Structures are given as C-alpha cells and as structure tokens.
Amino acid sequence: MSKNEVSFSIARHAAWAPGVTSSARWSEWAAQPWRIEPGEGPKLAAMPAMLRRRAGLLGRMALEVAYDCLGQEADVPTVFCSRHGEVGRAIGLLQDLARGEPLSPTAFGLAVHNASAGLFSIARADRANHIALAAGSASVEHAVIEACSLLADGAPSVLLVACDEPLPALLSSFEDCDEQPYAFAWVMVPAGERPLRLSWRREEQEAAPSATPGGLEVLRFQLGEADRLERGAGAQRWTWSRNA
C-alpha cells in the first residue's frame, strides 16, 4: 500500500439489483449495460424474519450480497459504503417533524448510515469491526482504500459492500447522474493472482459528472475484461487497472 495506490484481490463476489439477480445476467449487463429500474427487493432468506422486516430496498440489497459473500464465515471486518444511504427514511422523519408528529426511534435507528452494517452484525451475532462511509460519487474508491488499510493492518480478508438507489422524489433535482438501484460485495484479500489496482491523483480542473453512478462503473469494470478504467470525481482522478 503506497501513498497514492492500493492493490488487492477479490476472493469472492456477489451482486444484486432488481431484474439482475444471477451471474449470467450480470455478465450480460457488463457486456452491454441497460438502465436498472427500481423494483422489489431480494427475499433475504438468510436473515431472521424479525430483523429482515426492518430493512428497506437498499438494506435488503446490501444484506443479500453480504450474506452471499460471507455465508457463515465470521470475524471478518466489513466496510459498507453508499453515497446516499437510507435518505428516504431520513426524509420521512423530517416530514414527521415538520408535521409535529412524534418520531419513531426504530425509524431513526434505521435511517443512520451504518444501519445495514448493524443489522448484519446483530443477525449474525458477529462482533467483527464494521465501518460505514459516504464519499460522494467516489464512495466505492474511498471504501476500497479503507478496506486495504485494514488488510495492511493484518486482517486476512475484508468484506466490502457497496449499494445505492435513486433519491426520493423530493430530492431528485439534486441527482447529478442516472441513479439506479444496485448492491455488490467483495471479499477482499491481499494482492495475489491478477490483482486489481486503484491509484489516484488531483487534477487542476474538476471532471464533468458521469451519467452512470460511480459504483456501477466500478462494478462493470470488475465484471468485464477491460484492463483500465479512468473515473473523475470532482478534482480527483481515479484509475482502476488489473495486472496480468
């Protein structure tokens, strides 16, 4: 791990989105992407029903891929990242407040950014370290740096979960890309065979926003065969590459 570069390998991975629920469909999407429309969330059968009922679409997607990647494996630190998180729940709380209605402690607890990570930890009785972060359109890149820091500190593996969904109608005018619902997870391990490399640098001018959400751009690169992906986020330039 150097000052402006990290590298790692992916031991296992999973992805889920409405209508794109199998490896074959994800391969088709990666070869020729289409817009992913909102829809019903996954069944999330691995989670106890009492906790499963608390999760909305975003949480169900994130938890589905987390379970797919880890199974019964425990004591793996996790990094959850989402640009917007459960902002729909937060808007609902603010609207209740504006109407002078009492706020639901449960709704508040599920609106915070680490809600999905908390549910995952509780359901599995797993006390492993978990982190939740948001870093705009470069949320996945910052999550990778955080995960690689944990690997550098001696963790044998780290679970990274990335998820997002379109903003609520009240905030839709603030969208700067074509937001779509998705979640993916990687079990990251120290760089081995054909690792992925992420490097970054500052630019003098800010890059124009991409029409595709950053997380989906990164997921397409991971699933595809391209050797390189260049992404701009503000004045930061991110370069993804894979070694032969």
Angstrom distances, CA of residue 137 to CA of 146, 175, 215, 243: 16, 11, 8, 25
Residue type, 18: P
From edge to edge, which strands make up the β-sheet containing 78-81? Answer: 130-133, 78-81, 158-164, 182-190, 5-16, 196-202, 236-242, 228-233
Architecture per CATH, 5-242: 3-Layer(aba) Sandwich (3.40)
Q: Is pLDDT above 80 for 140? A: yes
- The β-bridge relationship of strands 236-242 and 182-190 is unpaired
Contact 14, 182 (CB under 8 A): no
Q: How many residues does the chain have?
A: 244
Is the pLDDT score of 244 beyond 60?
Answer: no
pLDDT on residue 27: 96
Q: How many CA atoms lie within 13 A of 207 on its CB side?
A: 18
Residue 167 in tokens: 């903003």
- Percentage of the chain with pLDDT > 70? 99
pLDDT in tens, 204-236: 777 777 889 999 999 999 999 999 999 988 889
CB atoms within 10 A of CB 139: 24
- The half-sphere exposure of 177 on its side-chain side, counting CA atoms within 13 A, is 23
Question: pLDDT for 54-107, tens place per residue?
Answer: 998 999 999 999 999 998 899 999 999 999 999 888 888 999 899 999 888 888
Q: Residue 94 to residues 101, 214, 239: CA-CA distances in angstroms?
A: 10, 28, 38
Strands (E), 3-49: 5-16
Distance CA 53, CA 130 (A): 22
Reported as a pLDDT band with limits 50, 70 and 90, residue 1 is low
Q: What pLDDT does residue 175 have?
A: 87
Query: What per-residue confidence (pLDDT) applies to 216?
Result: 97
